[in-house]
Amino acid sequence: MATDADYLQRQALSVLDLHNIDASRLETTLQGAANGFVARLTSQEADKLSADANVQFVEPDRIVKLGTGCFTLVSPSTAQWGVKRTGVGDGSGKTVWIIDTGVDFDHPDLIVDKTRSKNFINPQGLATDDNGHGTHVAGIIAAVNNNIGVLGVAPGAKIVALKVLGNTGEGNSSYIFQALNYISQQAAAGDVVNMSLGADTISVALDNTVKNIAARGILFSIAAGNSSEAANLTSPARANAPNIFTVSAIDSMGRYASFSNFGNDVVDYAAPGVNIVSTFSNGRYARLSGTSMAAPHMAGILLLNGTAVRTKGTALNDPDGTPDKIASVN
C-alpha cells in the first residue's frame, strides 16, 4: 500500500519532470505541517517552478545561524537570577521540543528523551550537542532539581533534542522544516517548542509552518533576535498567531537588552536573557547572553501555565516606546 511519503515523492518528481528537471536533483520531501520538497535548482529552474500555478511558492534553502557571541565556562550555583525572576514549577510529565544544536544526552542536570530526539543534519547520527547552545537552552527550561548544577524554570520536563545546527551554529532552513514536520507528526497539544534561532530575512514558508503547527495546540517560544532591530524583519520571530510567543530579552535590572530585537506588533513578552548561567556541552556549565536565553525562560512558563502567562512588571528602556511585559510563572 502506498504511503503519504510515497505520494509526496511521486508528486515532487512529477513537478520536476514537467519542467524538465532531472529526478536526481530531488533531495528530500517534506511531510507534515508543510508538504513540499527540497531540490537543487538553478535560479532559472526556481523561476519556472514559481510560475507554476500548482506550486504555492519557492524559497531558497537559506543558511540559518546563531547570533555571534561568546560564552564563559563557570561553576554553577543552582537557581540563577533569571529563574528567580521568572519563577519555578514542577515540569514532570511535560515535554519540550528544542530545535537547536542538539543537547548533551549525558548531562547530569537534564532528562533527554533519546528515543524521540533526532538529527536532521546527519540522520544516521545522534542529536548530541557539539556546540553547547542547545544544551544551554535545555537547562534554562528544564534543569532538574537535584541539588547540583542549575535549576530550570520547569525542572524535570522531558527534553526532545532536534538537531538542525552544527558545531559552528549554522544549518540549512530545510533542516528546520524537517524538524517542524517531525513535531507536527509526533507532538501533542500542550507540548512546547523552543526556537532560539532564526533566518536573517523573512520566510513566508517558515512562518506559515509554525502557524499551522501552533493551530493544533502546540505552543511555540521564539527568540526575537539579537540585531537591535524590528523583530518583524526576520522569521520565525515575526510569526504572529495564537499559541506563538516571541520573546525579547532583559537584564537582571529589568532593562531592555541592548542587542534585543523589538516591536509590539510581534514581540509578546520579555524574559531574562543577559548573563544567564545554564548547562553546557560535555557536562559543563556556561554563561551566555541573547534572546536565545530569553525564549527558553518563556518555554518553561508555557510548560507550566500553558497560554495563561502571568507578568511581573515591564521592561525598562524598550526602544519601541511601549514596554514589553516581563513574563512570569506566578
**Which residues belong to the active site?**
100, 133, 292
Cell numbers 512558563 label which residue?
A: 301
Instruction: Answer whether 116's CB lies under 8 Å from 105's CB.
Output: no
Beta strands in the chain (DSSP E): 26-30, 36-39, 63-65, 72-73, 95-100, 118-119, 158-163, 170-172, 192-195, 219-223, 244-250, 267-272, 276-280, 284-288, 310-314, 325-328
- Report the SS3 class of residue 199: coil
- CA dist 215 → 70, 95, 241 (Å): 36, 18, 8
The end-to-end CA distance of the chain, in Å, is: 52
Smallest CA-to-CA distance from 163 within 133, 186, 129 is with 129
Smallest CA-to-CA distance from 161 within 127, 115, 189, 198 is with 127
Instruction: Answer whether 187's CB lies under 8 Å from 95's CB.
Output: yes
R_g over Cα of the chain: 19
Cell triple for 119 = 538529527
How far, in Å, CA of 319 to CA of 330, rounded?
27
How far, in Å, CA of 302 to CA of 221, rounded?
8
How far, in Å, CA of 278 to CA of 189, rounded?
27
Query: 76: cis peptide before it, omega within 30°?
Result: no
